[in-house]
Every structure is written in C-alpha cells, then in structure tokens.
Structure 1
Amino acid sequence: MRARFSFLALLLLAGALLPLGGCGFRPLYGESGAAGGATTVSRLSEIEVVVAENTIGRELKYNLLDSLSADGNTPVSPLYRLILQPRGYTQNVAIQQDAAVTRANFVLVVPFTLNSTATGKPIFKSTARARSSYNRVESEFANLSASQDAQKRVAEAVAADIKLQVSVFFDRQASQDGAIVQ
C-alpha cells in the first residue's frame, strides 16, 4: 500500500512538472544559451566594471567582479563596459528629543550603463538601489564601524541587483533575437 502511494505521488509530481517544459522555462544561469548562442554566464564574464576609485566604488567593483566572473578578474578583452555612478548618503531616522541620533540608514543609489566596447554605444541603462540601517551609540568608533559595515552590506546588495538586471537583459536579448547584442 505504501509503495503504491509513493508511486502515485511520484506520478503526480511528474505530471505537475511536465507543463514547465512547454512554457519555455529555462534557468537564467543555465549551461546552454538560447538558440545555441552564448550563455548568460559567459557574457557576464566579458564585462569590464568602471567606477570611481573611492571606498564605495571599490566595494561595488570587487563585489561585481567576484560575481560576474569565475576568477574575479577583469577580462583581458571585454565585450562590454559597465559604467557605475554611485551616490551614497546617510539618513537619520531615530532622533531623540535632545537631538541625539540613535539610528541611521545608509542609502546607495547606482545608475549604471552597459556599453558595447565594439561600438561604444549604450545597450542597457538602469538603476540599482539599496538601504541598510545601523544603530548609533555614544562611541564614535562604534558608529564608524557600524557605518562602514552598512556600506559593505549595501554594496553587496547593489552588486547582486546589478548582476541580476544585466543577466535578465542578456537573457531577454538572446530570447528575442536568438543572439545577444554586441
């Protein structure tokens, strides 16, 4: 009886998953590209990241390089150039009656443009943003440490969002054209 129930459950599961093959579902970071073209993963590894050389810029750049390519390095001859223009600011969100701030948000807004290195023209533009909260206390060292930690968390979140947006762009281009714009 139990074996029969397991068989029916397996059969029901297979029947439920069968329509996914017909609807065009395929993983975003799959091994084969649309219409036999390049994969999203291989296109991501051909991106050079350009950003201002400051603390938040370096955090963004190295988080992106780590997630875009297997070795975390800039490609030797990139097909694409990703230009980032980060703007970060702090918002005081919990202010006591004596004007002491006890909680703050660090907000990072990053407009970015993906350019083809062959033509120099932009092929995709968007904006990524993230926010992280941290407590403020009497110790200035603790406040500085908490602020830097919030900036790192926000840079990681924005880098992940940029990677996702660019991946979806490449995937949609491959689906529409059968090949990715260069």
Structure 2
Amino acid sequence: MRPAGLVMLSLALAGCGFRPLYLENGAPAAGAPQQKASIGRELAGISVQLGATRESILLRNNLIFAFTGGGDDSANPVHRLDYTIIKSASPFTVEAGSGRQSAAFVTIQVTYQLLRIGSLDPVFRGRAIGRASFDKPAQRFAAIRAERDAEDRAVGDVSEAIRNALASYFVQKSQSGS
C-alpha cells in the first residue's frame, strides 16, 4: 500500500506544473521558459538603503544577509531597495489589581519599493508587517530587553517576507521574459 501511494503521489505531482522557487539549472516545468539568471544572483544585486533607527539598521542587516547568504552589500548593484518603517507597541493585558501593563505587542510595518539603479520608477512595491508579543515584567531593564527582543523577532519576520516577495517577483520576471 505504501509504495503504491508514493507512486500515485509522484504521478499526481509530476503533472501539476509545480516548479521550485530556487531552481537554478534544472529542467523547467512543462511550458515554462528557462530562467535567464538565478534568483540568488538577482537578490545579491540589490542594494539596501541605510536607515537611521535601530529597527531600520536591523532590517537592512537581515536583508543583506538574506540576499547574499551572509556576504556584504552588493558592490555592483542592479536594484535599490528603499523602505519606510513604522513601529508601534500596544498593551494587550493589564493586571486587574495594579493596572500595570503585563504584556504587549510590537508591530513593525514596512512599506518598500524596488528601483533599478538610475531610475526613479519602482519596478516592484510591497508592504510587510511583523508582529511579536512580549511579557512586560516589573523590572525596568527586563521590560526594555523583552520589548527589544520582540522588535528583533518582528523585524526578522518582515525581512523574511520581503525576501520571499522579491524572490517571487524575480521568478515571475524571468518566466515572463522581461
């Protein structure tokens, strides 16, 4: 029963036209054009703007790491990624006796656009939102550290969403031949 099920699953998936996002030199799905360049090279050719806030610097570092696999910012960029960050924190539980906030959410919202170097017209726009909760203990330093850790997690979620959206954009671009 088990081998027969695997064979049936393989046959079903073989005809669906599924194509892995990061396929480099493999055979394309039926009817799909061969990718002109790998998605990794496209992502590595993105220069990320330098921000002034702690969250924007963390986002930039996460994106550079995601785009280059741990390398430095692109020396010869083809695209530039501009973004704006809005950070907010809101309480969601309050202790009944003291009225003290005991837990909160941090929300990081990033609106971004990808531009070709030398052009002012964006080729891709998007928005990503990351949200993380944290406990807010009575100790001041512990509360600050907990909020900062939540910000880091939210920025990590946002940078992953941006990377995935841009990778999908480059896949669609290569399949359309533009």
Could you state the TM-score of these two structures normalised by the residue count of structure 1?
Answer: 0.86
Letter paired with 1:73: D
Is 1:160 aligned to 2:160, yes or no? Answer: yes
1:23 is aligned, of 16, 19, 23, to 16
Q: Secondary structure at the match of 1:86?
A: strand
- The gaps in structure 1 that reach 5 residues or longer are none
Asked whether 1:43 is paired with 2:42, we answer yes
The residue aligned with 1:57 is 56
Q: In structure 2, what residue type is equivalent to 1:38?
A: A
Larger radius of gyration: 1
1:138 deviation in Å? 1.1
Q: Distance in 2 between matches of 1:46 and 1:19?
A: 37
Whether contact under 8 Å (1:92, 1:103) holds in the other structure is yes
Given that 1:108 and 1:154 are in contact with CA atoms closer than 8 Å, whether structure 2 keeps it comes out as yes
**Aligned residue identity for 1:129:** I
What is the CA distance between 1:30 and its match in structure 2?
Answer: 1.6
Find the aligned partners of 1:85 and 1:124 in 2 and give their Cα distance.
15
Aligned pair count reads 171
| Structure-1 separation of matches of 2:48 and 2:54 | 15
C-alpha displacement of 1:106:
0.6
Counterpart of 1:70, as a letter, is: G
In the alignment, the residues of structure 1 paired with residue 77 and residue 120 of structure 2 have an alpha-carbon distance, to the nearest angstrom, of 12
Shift of 1:153: 0.7
Q: Which residue of 2 aligns with 1:69?
A: 68
**Percent of residue pairs bearing the same amino acid type:** 24
Take 2:154 and 2:148, find their aligned partners in 1: how far apart are those partners?
A: 10
User: Greater shift after overlay, 92-101 or 129-138?
Assistant: 92-101
Is the partner of 2:99 in helix, strand or coil?
A: coil
Task: Report 1:162-177 matches (<5 A).
Answer: 162-175=162-175, 177=176
What whole-Å deviation, never above 9, does each CA across 1:129-173 have from its counterpart, x for those lacking one? 011111111100100110111111111111000001111111122
How far apart, CA to CA, are the structure 2 residues paired with 1:80 and 1:131? 28
Equivalents in 2 of 1:53, 1:137: separation in Å? 29
Contact 1:86/1:111 (8 A) holds in 2: yes
TM normalised by structure 2 equals 0.88
Shift of 1:24: 2.3
Q: Which residue does 2:114 correspond to in 1?
A: 114
Unaligned runs of 5+ in 2: none
RMSD: 1.8
Q: How much has 1:17 moved relative to structure 2?
A: 1.5
User: Deviation above 4 Å: which 4+ runs of structure 1?
Assistant: none
